[in-house]
Structure 1
């Protein structure tokens, strides 16, 4: 590990143009001399470290609840019109970013007073932010431990070369470096690479044991489960409540509303948890028969009239066989 030393005036970091990030070395020295010692500042700012549990909970609530509402609003509106949903995606993305910031603080053990609460909050938020918490936390801690160290670059930072390093590169590597630091790559392709690809397999954490892998795979599983639920809600469920082996179709004048409602829609008999999550939409035959019944009262109908349970009933296991009807 490199010893602390005064910056070499030839080793200014390079930006989009190799000289763009260079600063006047004399101004840099003057700034350092006028600035209080970092250790003194550390003692000052450490007084602000203790989290306020009430405030932390409040901040989490006013971030998570609006995100969920905007997200659900966007999802619901896409069924009727594209543009309203697209508009709602923007504030949802903003709140998602704020959730990532909360996850970031959890990674530092700075959000709640107890580390365990921080960790589990961060892990759960990681499913929403596409960021495996324990893997990211280790990488980010390494970034904090090595930030600004020219000999420890490469973890949790954007690749940055000194002017002398840039000048020593062959032309094709200079081109690659300039392309890498292009805003379209850094702020477009880069986040896609990090959040959708790189963080799915923590190859850079092989030496850190099983936890980064467990964290990543658990986050991936949560993302798959959430995506699967959405696919099911948006597609398979909508398919199954009307597409099953003995569903009823007829032409007028034989068609009758009540008969078509009761026998043209299924009773998708799901396990309790899925019934609750889907607002009992599986009791679709009763819903079609009387759409004014609140969703939370549909189980009462089946309880009081058990004969309705067997009409057009499809279990979760049986529903997979219905896919062949596509």
Structure 2
């Protein structure tokens, strides 16, 4: 939340140079406050786990948030009970008339398919187009980020020779961006994907800001259109054991998968990994809700 300071205070210039969020008394006195309406398009197979991952982060701010869960009509989930979906999820035709302050589009296990081969691609495109006028800011995660980069900006993904799987070190590339306020110079984050986006294409694109990247994992956090679209290629929302569960599951299925890098203590998969990214996960979601949703969304939508 912002610091409210008297108008003309000399320290204001110092704080602004350090990218500290400040607000003068006039703006503070005229702010209207209401609950934020956040839409979550959950494309992950184990939807209940993803719900917990995201709600844990969205619920740890002073802001009141109303959540609406969205499912696709053109693809039926095989890993979540129909009763759960019927009880807690809605479809796009049922909400497309509404305005939302923020939206999250999750990853999906379809990254090795060409975008247009995904059975709900046309439906997703319609939703992404709709966000331009009906959502203040949309946060895209993993495959959802790649889908947004492809649809909105024409940046395609490519298949990696080896899966990007593990917990990698990242650096901040743009300290002026509000989304990264409070971040350490270096921090870690989990990744789990078979594809990547070309760094050179992102840097060259006039509408995309590369905010953070990893030497091993590539581009991580990107922003476009003053934060209306935010793309994150990894999974800060993951719990400590999420990569371990994925690794042991695939091993049990006899699939070829290497041990997640920089993850298990002493590279021993029998040891319990620790969560070294939790604070930055909470910080990123808090910054998104505050600076890109709460501070930007209209009190009353037209």
Structure-1-length-normalised TM-score: 0.21
Higher strand residue share? 2
Structure-2-length-normalised TM-score: 0.22
- Bigger RCO (CA 8 Å, 6+ sep): 2
- The structure with the largest alpha-carbon Rg is 1
